[in-house]
Amino acid sequence: MPEVLATFQGVVSCTRAATARGFALSGLTAERPGEPTTLTFSAAAPADLPTTLEDARVERVGGGAYCIAAAAGSWQFEARAAELQREVAVPFFRALPPRPVPWSKRVFWSLVLALASSRAGLALLRRLRR
């Protein structure tokens, strides 16, 4: 039974690796909207695979066999492995609001930076550091 790896929505970029044998599909998926996803295969890309696809669906159909289906056609190929990567920085930092800086630290660093902006202030900071 086929296992769905990713269901891309919209434009999917197909990038062939320059040095290593492999290719990658990048875009947004239906499973996690808003998180850019990259699916990398360790195999040569099918010869007739275009550089962009529309609404692609990627399935593992067997042990090392994969199938990419899109409006432009369907491609089957063999790969040693497939790696799915999601960019989670945006939702991660949205979930963790920045911690407010205490006013004492703000005053301290404002004073240090003001002193560092002049030669006399730099000399004073060097003396205080010793």
60 in Cβ contact with 69 (< 8 Å):
no
pTM for the model: 0.67
Query: What does the buried/exposed string (b/e) look like for 7-16 if buried means 16 or more CB atoms within 10 Å of the residue's CB?
Result: ebeeebebee
Arithmetic mean of pLDDT over the chain: 89
pLDDT at residue 27, rounded to an integer:
93
Q: At what angle do helices 119-129 and 103-116 cross, to 10 degrees?
A: 120
Query: Could you read off the pLDDT of 64-119 as tens digits, one per residue?
Result: 899 999 988 999 999 988 999 998 887 788 888 888 999 999 999 999 999 999 99
22 in Cβ contact with 41 (< 8 Å):
yes
Cβ neighbours for 124, distance < 8 A, ≥ 6 positions apart: 115
Cα-based angle 116, 120, 122 (whole degrees, multiple of 5): 35
